[in-house]
Amino acid sequence: MAAIEGVLALVVGLLLAGLILFFTFLRRGQWPTFRRLPALEALSADIGRSVESGTRLHLSLGNGSMYGPEASATLVGLAALSQIAKAGSVSDKPPLATSADGAVTLLSQDVYRVAFRHQRAEDRYDPLLGRIAGLGPLGYAAGTMHTAPDEDVTATFILGPQGREVALVAEAGSRRGDVVGGTLDPVAQAVLYATADHPLIGEELFATGAYLKVNRAHAASVQAQDVMRWVVIGAAVALAVLGTVGIL
Amino acid sequence: MKFHVSVVVAIGTGLLTLVAYFVPLAPLQAMRAALLQIGAILATVALLLGAGNLLSVHARKIRDGKPGHLYSIFLVISMLSVFIMVTVFGPQSPYSVWIVTQVQQPLEVALTGLLSGVLLIAGVRVMFRRPHWSTYLFFLAAVIVLLGTAPLPFVAIPFLQGFRNWLAQVPAVGGGRGLLLGIALGATATGLRVLLGLDQPYQR
């Protein structure tokens, strides 16, 4: 059974990789049209508003590491940070990124450095824009709760792995402005549904890079996921029918 | 050139680790274990740098007299004293264990208690902040589950326990599995993007 599962995982992985490559290099000049996602529209609007009014944004990269299964959500947060940092690097108050892991913090500082260089504003680069707010899930939540009031933040983006303690981060952020939030854990997503102004549900978190136009591969991976979702639905229905008629 | 080297190292390491997961060959397994060990060591070094980062952030806050700098003074003193104590006496010493059991754990329990209150208030407030049928459904489901779980004095609502169990075991589990399938596909696609070199978080 384990061997079958392994082969199945390999097939799904290869199929998904093939689809991502196909959509990445297909009609490279055109950006695909996606359905409306109010949370990601709000995120883009908040970035624009912050640049215009010179106010500060806070991106919470969560309490995960680059080492576990939650790294995918951290990667989404870092991709979003690259766009947010580019937009905010010329602002009086550049955006802040908090995390709970050393490697994630180093990566966020690298993203900032590249964004500032891209905007020819290297002299304004400050490594402490990417910072650790606290260690461990509750330590991180406790440290991040102070970021919004202490740093004069007007919008909080929660894009990274967090548990139900995300409520404390979202609640502190909502006292100062808009909160857009998405995470991996379904329980934490329910918590964000109640506490964030614009929650990202399910796999919507993984569409962030495509909606912020990070690069063509992000859009391609959303297209590939759409195709694979129908394959998975078809397989689930087929297996249920085969099970019902007694073939499986 | 440096850019290309980092891409090759990242993709090569990722692919080797992934192949070793699927192919049970002894040399591959040994390489995978070695790579994971190197990763763990690097993560620990990064954690030390992260602690330095935390100290720098709060030192600057104290120096500039920013709002909340009194908390920062407390944090820096606590951080340094714990660091010195654990370094001198060791992580298993009664002093180090005392800090965890008598300071850290009670503080975490207090925060968890605060979390319950925050969630309750947020659950009620969301109805006014986002008036939508899905919000009302969310609130109704939460109330039914709460009533079906908590012991109610003097009243017994028929079928409530059964309805609560059905709600938690059928629609909630079904919806949760749907969410998890989407998340799994998204996570796989994100990992593959890095492995294919289409996304470089280490040099964006």
Mean pLDDT of A26-46: 88
Give the nearest chain A residue to B69 (CA atoms). Answer: A150
Please judge whether A191 and B138 are an interchain contact, meaning their C-beta atoms are less than 8 angstroms apart: no
Chain B residues lying within 8 Å of A228, measured CB to CB? 185
Interface test with A, best of B183, B195, B200 (most A CBs within 10 A): B183
Cα of A108 to nearest chain B Cα, Å:
9
For residue B21, give the DSSP letter.
Answer: H
- Selecting from A105, A133, A171 the residue whose C-beta is nearest the C-beta of B122 gives A171
Cβ proximity of A157 and A57 under 8 Å: yes
Q: Secondary structure of chain A in the HEC alphabet?
A: CHHHHHHHHHHHHHHHHHHHHHHHHCCCCCCCCCCCCHHHHHHHHHHHHHHHHCCEEEEECCCCCCCCCCHHHHHHHHHHHHHHHHHHCCCCCCCEEEECCHHHHHHHHHHHHHHHHHCCCHHHCCHHHEEECCCCHHHHHHHHHCHHHHCCEEEEEEECCCCCCHHHHHHHHHCCCEEEEECCCHHHHHHHHHHCCEEECHHHHHHHHHHCCCCHHHHHHHHHHHHHHHHHHHHHHHHHHHHHCCCC
Q: With cut-offs at 50, 70 and 90, classify the pLDDT of residue A91.
A: confident
For residues A219 and A23, is the Cβ–Cβ distance under 8 A?
A: yes
Give pLDDT, residue A44: 93
* Residues counted in chain B: 204
Residues A89/A57, Cβ–Cβ less than 8 Å: no
> Cβ contacts (< 8 Å) between A206 and chain B: which residues?
183, 186-187, 189-190
Cα–Cα distance for residue pair A42/A51, rounded to 1 Å? 14
| Chain A contact for B2 (CB, 8 A cutoff) | no
B159-187 pLDDT, tens digit per residue, is: 888 888 899 899 999 999 999 999 999 99
Give the whole-angstrom CA distance, residue B202 versus residue B3: 10
> Under an 8 A CB cutoff, do B43 and A103 touch?
yes
Residues of B in contact with A103 (CB under 8 A): 42-43, 46
Could you say which residues of chain B have pLDDT below 70?
1-3, 202-204
Q: For chain B, how big is the Rg over CA atoms in Å?
A: 25
The amino acid occupying position B119 is: L
Say yes or no to pLDDT of A4 above 70. Answer: yes
Kindly determine whether residue B119 and residue A167, on different chains, have CB atoms separated by under 8 Å.
Answer: yes
Q: How close A244 comes to chain B (CA, Å)? A: 18
Taking the C-alpha atoms of residue B121 and residue B114, their distance in angstroms, rounded to an integer, is: 11
**A26 or A97, higher pLDDT:** A97
Chain B residue whose CA is closest to A183: B183
What residues 3-22 of chain B have any CB closer than 8 A to a CB of chain A?
A: 22
Architecture of the domain delimited by A35-212: 3-Layer(aba) Sandwich (3.40)
Task: Return the CA Rg of chain A.
Answer: 19
C-alpha distance from residue A204 to each of A11, A48, A181, B63, B150 (Å)? 24, 21, 10, 41, 34
Cα(B141)–Cα(A220) distance, rounded to whole angstroms?
A: 37
ipTM of the complex: 0.91
CB contact under 8 A, A167 and B115: yes
Look at residue B157 in the predicted model and tell me its pLDDT. Answer: 77
Q: Residue A222's pLDDT band (boundaries 50, 70, 90)?
A: very high
Which pLDDT score, from 0 to 100, does residue A1 have?
A: 58
- CA A192 to chain centroid, in Å, comes to 14
Q: Which residues of A touch B196 (CB under 8 A)?
A: 17, 20-21, 217
Interface mutation target, options A203, A222, A226, A233, chain B, most CBs of B under 10 Å: A203
- Would the pLDDT of A133 be above 50? yes
Q: How far apart are CA B180 and CA B174, in angstroms?
A: 10
A38-53 mean pLDDT: 92
**B151, B153, B156, B162: CA torsion to nearest 10:** -10
Query: What is the pLDDT at residue B1?
Result: 46
Q: How far apart are the CA of B41 and the nearest CA of chain A, in angstroms?
A: 11
**Mind listing the pLDDT tens digit for each residue in A159-171?**
999 999 999 999 9
Which residues of A fall within a CB distance of 8 Å from B43? 65-67, 101-103
